[in-house]
Amino acid sequence: MPITTEPLPTAFLLAVCGALLALSVLFSRASGRFGIPVALLFLGVGMAAGSDGPGGIDFDNYGFAFRLGTVALVLILFDGGLNTPLAAIHSALKPAAVLATVGVVATAALMGAAAHFIFGFGWTQALLLGAIVSSTDAAAVFSVLRGSGLHLKRRVGTTLELESGLNDPMAVILTTGLTHTLASGKPPGWDLAVEAVVQMVVGAGLGLAMGLGARMLLKRLRLRVAGLYPVMTLALALLSFGLPTLLHGSGFLAVYIVGIALGNETIRYRTGLLRVHDALAWLSQVLMFLVLGLLVYPRNLVEVAWEGLGLGLVLAFLARPLAVFLCLLPFRFPFGEMVYTGWVGLRGAVPIILATFPVLANAPGSRDIFNIVFFIVVVNGLIPGATVPWVTKKLGLAANVPEPPQAVLEIASTQLLKGELSSFYIDKASAVAGERLADLPFPPGSAAMLLVRGQELLAPKGDTVFQPGDHVYVFGHAEDLPLLRLLFGQQEDE
């Protein structure tokens, strides 16, 4: 018998957690094949492990789920900000901001009206339910598209992504205010609107200030151990949520802005930081959906199936599309883009986490609201979610993006270097297509470092002829990039 000091319950818990994580990752491969958002698969694993499934785990700790979900959302939003380029923000900020504020309120109001007039909910309960399901999750859309090998045209994709990063604060504010109203029995007043404005202004202001401060810190900070840089950025992410929240601002908005500020700055060990936070975001997403799945008892879903199915259809076919049309009309979006934006506003973990608010406040009917919200998220993911690839092609919104190279060349440094490595895709219109490397007017100090041609890795030499379909990695300085872009075209990460 092996000697161990590890108590059996802890070892068992770790084994169960490891098994659930592994199953979730393995099942994620089915997302692209069946057109199902990966979040629903994680939820399904959690439900199967719960007390009504073969796993038999009895879990009813809403407080733990809320805290875990909050931390997970902080890490997911921070990672989303790190990967949001400023150029994309400039092109889509206004429509995304309107969708994230006016669109959230409009969706909540339309869903509340449907819950009240069709299913007989009281006005406060109905509006609370609408507020909970009013925020979107662009990651659910992009996971389905990536699994199908499709890419969205930039304007639509950027609008969806920015909207999902910006709309959580408004949904949280509405849910918090209406939960207090339902629990206390006092009607909502103008204080809810004032609180919404204050939280958004304080969150945005502190987010900008902390983002600029974090940029200065990371540019000057020199650590001997590269692994400590991700620890510092993790600390900044947690701080950028906690401090604004304590000061009555929107921590979710602040952490997203700080992520954008850091993601668009040349900082030490940038490549490593992006990879670590991408992994943390995926781990957060898996853990969050697993725990939320454990909270659900399928037998209780049957009791609210009619309300959940009906409101899920109202959200997909009426509330979301109508809210999007009202918000995007002033921006002269083409009709097809408005239809698409309205149809693929998939819901993720945020509504389920928000549904724990009334449960923790012991508000009347809170358990039914939680189960209905869960049902709506599943219906919304299955119906619009399964049609995302088909609708993308049908509306002509699939972007012609080349397949990524089979090998990636990167510079990972804990120092700020003067040069940088850029990746270019060569198509038929590229100036270098069919040309020899020796004949190109390369800037002094620049060099072609690696050529990826299908499954081959080639060292570029003077007689190397560039062909359409090649991926080439070029080293150069910042002042050389305009000439390199004239030769090779836009960089692959732009």
pLDDT in tens, 251-263: 999 999 999 999 9
For range 65-93, the mean pLDDT: 87
DSSP state of 315: I
Which three-class secondary structure state does DSSP give residue 231? helix
DSSP state of 227: T
For range 219-239, the mean pLDDT: 90
* Side chain identity at residue 483, one-letter code: L
Domains of the chain: 33-394 (1.20.1530.20), 419-488 (3.30.70.1450)
- pLDDT band for position 112 (cuts 50, 70, 90): very high
HEC string of the chain? CCCCCCCHHHHHHHHHHHHHHHHHHHHCCHHHHHCCCHHHHHHHHHHHHECCCCCCECCCCHHHHHHHHHHHHHHHHHHHHHCCCHHHHHHHHHHHHHHHHHHHHHHHHHHHHHHHHCCCCCHHHHHHHHHHCCCCCHHHHHHHHHHCCCCECHHHHHHHHHHHHHHHHHHHHHHHHHHHHHHHCCCCCHHHHHHHHHHHHHHHHHHHHHHHHHHHHHHHCCCCCCCHHHHHHHHHHHHHHHHHHHCCCCHHHHHHHHHHHHHCCCCCCHHHHHHHHHHHHHHHHHHHHHHHHHHCCHHHHHHCHHHHHHHHHHHHHHHHHHHHHHHHHHHCCCHHHHHHHHHCCCCCHHHHHHCHHHHHCCCCCHHHHHHHHHHHHHHHHHHHHHHHHHHHHHCCCECCCCCCCCCCCCCCCCCCCCEEEEEEECCCCCCCCCCEHHHCCCCCCCEEEEEEECCEEECCCCCCECCCCCEEEEEEEHHHHHHHHHHHCCECCC
pLDDT over 70 for what percent of the chain? Answer: 90
- pLDDT band for position 1 (cuts 50, 70, 90): very low
- pLDDT band for position 457 (cuts 50, 70, 90): confident
| CA distance readout (Å), 44 to 163, 286, 322, 332, 374 | 26, 11, 30, 40, 12
Whether the predicted pLDDT of 160 surpasses 90? no
Whether the predicted pLDDT of 494 surpasses 60? no
Whether the predicted pLDDT of 92 surpasses 50? yes
Q: What is the pLDDT of residue 5?
A: 55
pLDDT over 90 for what percent of the chain? Answer: 32
> Which residues make Cβ contacts (< 8 Å) with residue 175, sequence separation at least 6?
128, 131, 132, 354, 357
Q: What is the pLDDT of residue 315?
A: 95
Whether the predicted pLDDT of 453 surpasses 70? yes
pLDDT in tens, 268-288: 788 888 889 999 988 988 888
Length of the chain: 494
pLDDT in tens, 390-449: 888 899 888 776 666 766 767 666 666 677 788 888 888 888 888 888 888 888 888 888
